[in-house]
Structure 1
Amino acid sequence: MKTVALHNLKGGVGKTAAAVNLAYLAAANDVPTLLWDLDPQGASSWYFHGQPQHEKTKNVLHGATPVSRLVTPSPYANLSLIPADFSYRYLDVMLRKVEPPRQALRRLLKPFAGDYALAILDCPPSLSHLADNVFAAADLVLAPVVPTWLSLRALEQVEDYLRDAGFDPSRLRPFYSMADRRRQLHRELIERRPQAMARGLHAVIPYASMVERMGERRAPMAAFAPSDDPALLAYAELWLELKAMLKL
């Protein structure tokens, strides 16, 4: 099973939309997929109509409750969900009490390897002990980046953190998100990518009203958008790049 995290130090950059659409597209392409919503806001869970199982998180972390009890079905074939629980707001504190300190999430994901080919982690925006667990568990960390200098600075901060904390920074793979080509700065940064985007994926997710309608429909884009919609095509390109990198 391959594990992919959607992570960014900044919020509001399209992280959850990417997680939801990638999970759907993977499942629709016959890749058994598990989406784990680690953000206490629970946006990914809400899109997929997921309800938390109300198992005590600390019992799961310490092995007293099987992690499989957290899994719920989604409305779509090949796609399961571990919905967010509001107790996840304390997850960073709880993980610090688990030994070894960075390996709890990797250990919890291990039993799913027999049932799923891909696990996608939708992560809260932070650099924390939870983030350390995510970085230790993920084969790739996808970072959506708005084409602005402030967003690029946040990407560089994450890369520096990975290097300083002993993680492999080459696993961090950014892609442009919420890109508005009507804006000169966005166009310039897309066409002449700065060094921070040297390992960036080619897909560029546009700033589009169709993405916002995911909230209205509570569904991934492919479930309702026209097949030629530019944003949907961009997510499809992102999925194909991810599939090729992970050899799924």
Structure 2
Amino acid sequence: MHIVALHNLKGGVGKTAAAVNLADQAARGGLPTLLWDLDPQAAATWCLNARPGLGRAPKKLFRRNAPIGKERQRTRWPYLDLLPADESLRHLDALIEKGKDGGRLLHGLLEPFSESYGLLLLDCPPSFSRLAEAVVRAADRVLCPLIPAPLSLNAWRQMEGHFDRRRYGRDKLRAFLTMVDRRRRLHRDWVAARPTSLRRCYETWIPYSTEVEKMSLRREPLMAFAPRSPASVAYARLWSELAREL
């Protein structure tokens, strides 16, 4: 089972849209996929038309006093399951004790899912935290959506530096451009030629699209209601790039 995390220091950059649509693309290809919504705001849970909330407290799950597999919810889409968000997830940092190997703890928690799934996607809350560190250690790839702007590049550099200092293995980190508005010159320039400091960036970029915004209204992935939209086609290409790497 491959573990892929969607992470960025900033919110509002299309992270959840990418998580939901990449999970949907993988599932449509016949790959059993599980998406874990780790963000207490529960955006991914909402977009998959699922109910938020866990039946057991995360404290019990992380201490393995209760099987996490029972928290899974089936979605309307074949091969795509969900571990829903819960407000109490904001306390996960406190459960990962300082000095402990959170990555090993999280990986051990998720390992049983490898019997049922080929892909596990983690939609992470925007921050540096013990949870984020644990996710990075456990993941095979960490995808960072970036809006073409100087502040995004600064956030990318901070993530790279943090990965280096913590010895996570910066080679796990991948960027992709998102919410690209080709009416803006800076966005066109970044699409034509990525900044030299933006290494390990996928060729696929996700266009700004009102269809993506409609996901929260329709509560379903793009392929379910706008399969031919430019954004939907772009997510399919992005999944192809990621799948080739994995």
- Band of TM-score, shorter chain: over 0.9
Q: How does 1:232-247 map to 2 (within 5 A)?
A: 232-246=232-246
Deviation at residue 69 of structure 1 after TM alignment: 1.6
Aligned twin of 2:33: 33
What one-letter code is carried by the residue in structure 2 that aligns with 1:90?
A: H
Deviation at residue 49 of structure 1 after TM alignment: 2.1
Deviation at residue 229 of structure 1 after TM alignment: 1.3
- 1:176 and 1:205 map into 2 onto residues whose CA distance is 6
Is the CA contact 1:155–1:196 (under 8 Å) kept in the aligned structure 2?
no
Deviation at residue 100 of structure 1 after TM alignment: 3.4
Q: Which stretches of structure 1, 4 residues or more, deviate above 6 A after TM superposition? A: none
- 1:18 and 1:194 map into 2 onto residues whose CA distance is 22
Deviation at residue 98 of structure 1 after TM alignment: 9.2
Q: How does 1:85-234 map to 2 (within 5 A)?
A: 85-96=86-97, 99-225=100-226, 227-234=227-234
Instruction: Please give the TM-score of this superposition, normalised by the length of structure 1.
Output: 0.96
Identity %: 46
Residues 43-100 of structure 1: per-residue CA shift (max 9 Å, x gap): 0011112222321110010011111121111111101100011001111111227953
Residues 151-203 of structure 1: per-residue CA shift (max 9 Å, x gap): 11101100110000011111100000001110011111221211232210011
Is the CA contact 1:61–1:98 (under 8 Å) kept in the aligned structure 2?
no
Aligned twin of 1:15: 15
- 2:76 and 2:125 map into 1 onto residues whose CA distance is 24
- 2:194 and 2:48 map into 1 onto residues whose CA distance is 34
Aligned twin of 1:42: 42
Matched, 1:83 2:84: yes
Number of matched residues?
245
Matched, 1:2 2:2: yes
Look up the SS of the partner of 1:60 in the other structure.
helix
Is the CA contact 1:45–1:84 (under 8 Å) kept in the aligned structure 2?
yes
What one-letter code is carried by the residue in structure 2 that aligns with 1:155?
A: W
Look up the SS of the partner of 1:21 in the other structure.
helix
Residue range with higher mean Cα deviation, 171-180 or 188-197: 188-197
- 2:196 and 2:46 map into 1 onto residues whose CA distance is 36
Aligned twin of 1:74: 75
RMSD between aligned residues? 1.2
Deviation at residue 108 of structure 1 after TM alignment: 1.0
- 1:100 and 1:231 map into 2 onto residues whose CA distance is 38
What one-letter code is carried by the residue in structure 1 that aligns with 2:148?
A: P
Structure 2 gaps of 5+ residues are none
What one-letter code is carried by the residue in structure 2 that aligns with 1:13?
A: V
Is the CA contact 1:53–1:69 (under 8 Å) kept in the aligned structure 2?
no
Distance 1:66 1:98, change over 3 A: farther
Instruction: Please give the TM-score of this superposition, normalised by the length of structure 2.
Output: 0.96
- 1:101 and 1:215 map into 2 onto residues whose CA distance is 32
Look up the SS of the partner of 1:45 in the other structure.
helix
Is the CA contact 1:32–1:118 (under 8 Å) kept in the aligned structure 2?
yes
Look up the SS of the partner of 2:206 in the other structure.
strand
